[in-house]
Each structure stands twice: as structure tokens, then as C-alpha cells.
Amino acid sequence: MGSISSKAVIFRDFGGPEVLELVEVDVPPPGPGEIRVRINAFALNRSEAMFRQGWHPIKPQFPSRIGYEAAGIVESAGEGAEFAPGDRVSTLPIMSLNACGAYGEYFTIPAKLAVRSPETLSDVETAALWSSYMTAYGMLIELVKIERGDWVLVTAASSSLGAPIFQILAMLGANVIATTRTRGKAEAIASMGASHVVVTEEENLAERVASITMGKGVRFAFDPIGGPIIGEIAELVCPYGAIVLYGILDFTPVNLPVMPLIGKNLSILGYAMLLDDQPERNERAIAFIREGVGKGALKPMVGKNFKLENIKEAAQYFDNLQQTGKVVLVNS
């Protein structure tokens, strides 16, 4: 059992989609505790774009492979891997980006970073599952305590985390106010489960939130944007509520909204899904997601599919924030 030749995406310098190259690489055989996976589908994630652009805290070792979320079939397994050839598997949110390579046909990874794929989901759906749903679980279930009837604000709701957040909030009995910049995505967001959708280019967010909540405001706000919008969000959160930041799309420096923070006893919480951070939480998340998938309450939303050879087009589509739901690439 030796190395095999595989098509894979690499990049040799920081930049946009133009730096991505589809090349032939050698994929090594699995060592002890490892598996080599034939990738049938893989998803794009914001942290990977930041890794490619040079914004991520982890820096690539050039030339670098890229990608950490995939679904496929175990081609071979090393000693002690607890998987066998032919097993359907998918990968957990691997944050050691230099050790990844999901943008391709094969990769060799530690078996501990893979799980058996849910039987009821296709590989395309499963490729869109673990990263988004584990992130949403960690924020909504472990970080804060959402109660039935709570009003929750979700900004940039067309992102890959929109559907997972809405679906878990529905399981919790919460009410969702979602935001999007343009009217074109509003209908899709509503179909994903948002109780109300505010188009911020056309509507006044503060007025809409006050009207919807009868002046009470939202108890929680979940924001992947950052930047000056944090001050606006703080005005919308009710006393003793919280703002959860789980991403950064706007790198503009922001002044801390001290007055509403103090005046309303608000909390600002940061969140990132680090796989090695809390192993017990990860096990709870996996169990919760499997149960939700089994009951039909959790269903990955794939916004658009591309083929591996169209990786630059897919990355450009993703970078331009055109998607509603997850962007997934498939190997033909």
C-alpha cells in the first residue's frame, strides 16, 4: 500500500481565487491511526478563504493544500484506525489547516477527525454538515442558554450557518429575526426558517426589530460580520442579553458600545469552533446533530454545486458572498 496520484487544489501565495491551482499530487498511504479517503464531495468554508488570503491565524506552508470539510469513502485504513475500506465517512471541523487538503480527490487524515456519515444524507449533504452544525450547536446550546419564546437576531443570514442556526433555534422554540443586505436573498432566507427577514438596504433595522418585538428587543444576537454594526446591534439587544461574534467579514476597527453595554448589562461573547478545545462538547454536538438528522429536524442546505475543475469559479462565487446556504464541490 503506497502513495497514489490524485488531483488536488494547491496555492503558492496569498490571494483570491486566481491563486488556486489544480495539480497532480502524491497522497501517502495511511499510517497508524490514519485513513486515506476518496473524496466524493467537499464544502467551502470562510476560514479556508481567510487561510488563502492570509488573514487566518494559521499560516500556510507553501505550496499548500487547502480544505477541511469532505465526505467520501475510506480507500485504505492504517492500524488502529477503527474504519475499514468501503466505510462512508465525513470529516469534522479540522482547524489544523496545514494538515488538510479536502479540495481534491483523495487525502490522508487522522481517523479521529472523521466520523461515519449519516445513512439518510447524500455525500453532498454530508459535506455540508459537520462544520456548520457543530459551530451552530456550540453557540446555541453550549455557549448561551436560549429559552422557548426568546427573540434572536441573526445577521448575514444567507451564510452557510444560516440554515443550521434557524433549524436549531426552531428545535429550541425561539423566534428568529434574520438580516440580509439585498432583497434577492430574502425569500430564500425565509424558506430556511426565519420568522422575519429584514433587508437592510431597504429597511431600518432598529425600527423593524422594535416593531416585531413590540419594543422589547432581542435577547440574543449572532453576528459573523463584526465592524461598526456591533454598535447598532447593541442598541437592539434587551437588558441582560448577549451578542455572540462568530466571524469577521468587516475588518473596520470598531469603538466598543460602552453605553448600551453598561446601561443594559449586556455581554459580548466571541466564539470559534476549535476541535481540540473541548472533546466532550464535540461528542455532545455529534450526538445532537445525529439525532436531529435522524428526526428530520436538521437538514443541510446546499446552495450551489460546482465540479472540482471549476474550483476558481466556485471560490469567486463564495468570496463574492453570492451563496445562500453551503457551496459544495463534487468529484465526477
Q: What is the 3-state secondary structure (H, E, C) of the chain?
A: CCCEEEEEEEECCCCCHHHEEEEEEEECCCCCCEEEEEEEEEECCHHHHHHHHCCCCCCCCCCEECCCCEEEEEEEECCCCCCCCCCEEEECCCCCHHHCCCCECEEEEEHHHEEECCCCCCHHHHHCCHHHHHHHHHHHHHHCCCCCCCEEEECCCCCCCHHHHHHHHHHHCCEEEEEECCHHHHHHHHHHCCCEEEECCCCCHHHHHHHHCCCCCEEEEEECCCCCHHHHHHHHEEEEEEEEECCCCCCCCCCCCHHHHHHCCCEEEECCCCCCCCHHHHHHHHHHHHHHHHHCCCCCCEEEEEEHHHHHHHHHHHHCCCCCCEEEEECC
- Judged against a pLDDT cut of 60, whether residue 95 lies above it is answered with no
Q: How confident is the model at residue 160 (pLDDT cuts 50, 70, 90)?
A: confident
- Mean pLDDT (whole number) for 140-169: 93
At 235-279, the pLDDT tens digits run: 999 999 999 999 888 888 888 889 999 999 999 999 987 777 788
pLDDT greater at residue 184 or residue 200: 200
Whole-number pLDDT of residue 94:
66
- Which of the following CATH numbers is that of domain 4-129+300-330: 3.40.190.10, 3.90.180.10, 3.40.50.10710, 3.30.450.20? 3.90.180.10
- Judged against a pLDDT cut of 60, whether residue 151 lies above it is answered with yes
- Mean pLDDT (whole number) for 51-66: 90
Mean pLDDT computed over every residue of the chain: 92
Bridging pattern class, strands 267-270 and 237-245: parallel
- Judged against a pLDDT cut of 70, whether residue 33 lies above it is answered with yes
- Judged against a pLDDT cut of 60, whether residue 170 lies above it is answered with yes
- Mean pLDDT (whole number) for 191-200: 88
Distance CA 171, CA 149 (A): 11
- Mean pLDDT (whole number) for 273-296: 89
- Mean pLDDT (whole number) for 194-216: 93
**250-268 as b/e: b if 16+ CB within 10 A:** beeeeeebeebeeebebeb
Distance CA 29, CA 78 (A): 8
Going from N- to C-terminal start, the domains of the chain cover: 4-129+300-330, 134-270
- Mean pLDDT (whole number) for 176-191: 87
Whole-number pLDDT of residue 181:
86
Distance CA 88, CA 66 (A): 22
Whole-number pLDDT of residue 193:
82
- Which of the following CATH numbers is that of domain 134-270: 3.30.1520.10, 3.40.50.410, 3.40.50.720, 1.10.10.10? 3.40.50.720
What percentage of the chain exceeds 70 in pLDDT? 98
Q: How confident is the model at residue 96 (pLDDT cuts 50, 70, 90)?
A: low
Whole-number pLDDT of residue 37:
96
- Mean pLDDT (whole number) for 181-185: 84
Can you give the pTM of this predicted structure?
0.90
The CA angle 138-45-8, to the nearest 5 degrees, is: 135
